[in-house]
Amino acid sequence: MTFDTTQSDTLNRQVKLASRPHGKPVDDNFELTTTEVPTPSDSEMLLRTLYLSLDPYMRGRMSDTKSYADPLEVGDVMLGATVSQVVSSNVEGFSEGDIVVAYGGWQDYSVSNGEGVYKLTKDMSNPSYGLGVLGMPGFTGYMGLTDIGKPQAGETLVVGAATGPVGATVGQVGKIHGLKVVGVAGGADKCKYAVEELGFDVCLDHRADDFEAQLAAACPNGIDIYYENVGGRVFDAVLPLLNAHARIPVCGLAAHYNQTELPDGKDRLSLLMSTILRQRLTVKGFIIFEEYGDHFPQFLQTMGKWVTEGKVKTKEHMVDGLANAPLGFVDMLEGNNFGKTVVKVADPK
């Protein structure tokens, strides 16, 4: 069947995992298919996708490597959070027309029993924010910094991917807590945005030849909190600057998601472990809804207020059309996005 560019009332376009990537995903790893719109059972509801979130964690789920969650099987619909509209509902608490955040995946229509689905307020001016600053990425940044990072006014915070949905949230919440915030991003435009629009004290381009020296100069008193979502060269530069009792929340390692084997060079595990010991570091990985799911309502209330008041700003990188989701995903993994990557699938009815 032809993969139409517009959403239909009777057909369900889907993007499936056609094969497992070896390194960077390519077009052949995705299959575009069309099937009939599913029919919900007596305890389910039918959801129509409006926006689809593209996030780095999806790359890990395309591989069959052991991780915190089961991998996708070849032939499965690509997974992902969505802002969706309820078409019909047999689930208590949800009605036709409601706008919700769900995990509908890379498709036009999905069926849900209501588990893990929450309604957005009808007056939200940008429903897509439910996939970014008011959704999983914003929640990840907020809880990782406040609960694991334990910010204290006057401390120095460093965060990579500073203009992405997690990093931008971390930096702005850090400023609210009185921290000196040093961001790291890829390119002058992103660094300028982090300082001039998001309020970071400094933002450094990790592509600069003297990045390590720039980071040391920007952190003359060392680093108290390093929010880890990138890894790679950024972490290598951060490690020798960490203060005693520094805290490192770990939510991702975007620089390594396409690697198929360990990088060349010396084994630095002993250096890492000795630094953890000598500096008494706190290093904690976390999966946001697994550890902090019950905190989400409080987060949504707090962050929603900050966004409304302009204390926290956000930027979206909008991809037009479900057929362009694979390209948008690859661009995001390569850092070619600017802000939270969201696919616009359809308008609400």
pLDDT in tens, 10-36: 899 999 999 999 888 999 999 999 999
Q: What does DSSP say about strands 118-119 and 82-89: parallel, antiparallel, or unpaired?
A: unpaired
Q: Can you give the pLDDT at residue 254?
A: 63
Interhelix angle 296-309/136-143, nearest 10 degrees: 100
Cα dihedral 183, 340, 54, 12 in deg (nearest 10): 180
Q: What does residue 320 show for φ and ψ, rounded to 5 degrees?
A: -95, 110
Q: Is the pLDDT of residue 1 over 50?
A: no
Q: Is the pLDDT of residue 182 over 60?
A: yes
Q: Can you give the pLDDT at residue 256?
A: 58
Lowest mean pLDDT among 114-128, 173-187, 202-216, 329-343: 114-128
Q: Is the pLDDT of residue 179 over 60?
A: yes
Identify the band that residue 260 occupies on the pLDDT scale cut at 50, 70 and 90: low
Q: Can you give the pLDDT at residue 345?
A: 97
**Average pLDDT score over residue span 288-311:** 92
d(CA 347, CA 111): 19
Residue type, 248: I
d(CA 40, CA 38): 7
Q: Which CATH superfamily is domain 136-289 in?
A: NAD(P)-binding Rossmann-like Domain (3.40.50.720)
Q: Taking the CB of residue 158, how many other CB atoms lie within 10 A of it?
A: 32
Q: Is the pLDDT of residue 39 over 70?
A: yes
Q: Is the pLDDT of residue 280 over 70?
A: yes
Q: Which long-range contacts (CB under 8 A, 24 or more apart) does 254-263 make?
A: 254/56, 254/161, 254/229, 254/230, 254/333, 255/230, 255/231, 256/231, 256/232, 257/56, 257/59, 257/60, 257/333, 258/21, 258/23, 258/24, 258/25, 258/59, 258/333, 259/23, 260/22, 260/23
**Average pLDDT score over residue span 32-43:** 95
Tell me the pLDDT of the chain averaged across its residues: 92
List, by residue range, all CATH 3.40.50.720 domains of the chain.
136-289
Q: Which residue shows structure tokens 């991003």?
A: 185
List, by residue range, all CATH 3.90.180.10 domains of the chain.
11-132+315-344
Identify the band that residue 257 occupies on the pLDDT scale cut at 50, 70 and 90: low
At residue 106's C-alpha, the angle toward residues 105 and 112, to 5°, is: 30
d(CA 106, CA 120): 20
pLDDT, tens only, 79-116: 999 999 999 999 999 999 999 999 999 999 999 999 98
Q: Is the pLDDT of residue 262 over 90?
A: no
- Model confidence, pTM: 0.84
Q: Can you give the pLDDT at residue 69?
A: 75
CATH fold, domain 11-132+315-344, is Quinone Oxidoreductase; Chain A, domain 1 (3.90.180)
d(CA 142, CA 125): 22
Q: Is the pLDDT of residue 258 over 60?
A: no
d(CA 278, CA 347): 55
**Average pLDDT score over residue span 166-177:** 97
Q: Length of the chain in residues, anyone? A: 349
Structure tokens at 266: 């010396």
Handedness of CA 18, 164, 310, 298 (dihedral sign): positive
**Average pLDDT score over residue span 196-202:** 97
Nearest to 340 by CA among 188, 184, 159, 129: 129
Kindly tell me the burial class for residue 130, based on how many C-beta atoms sit within 10 Å of its own C-beta (0-12, 13-18, 19 or more): buried
Lowest mean pLDDT among 30-44, 46-60, 118-132, 287-301: 118-132
Name the range with the highest mean pLDDT among 179-188, 289-298, 329-338: 179-188
Indicate the helix (H) or strand (E) that contains 272. helix 269-278
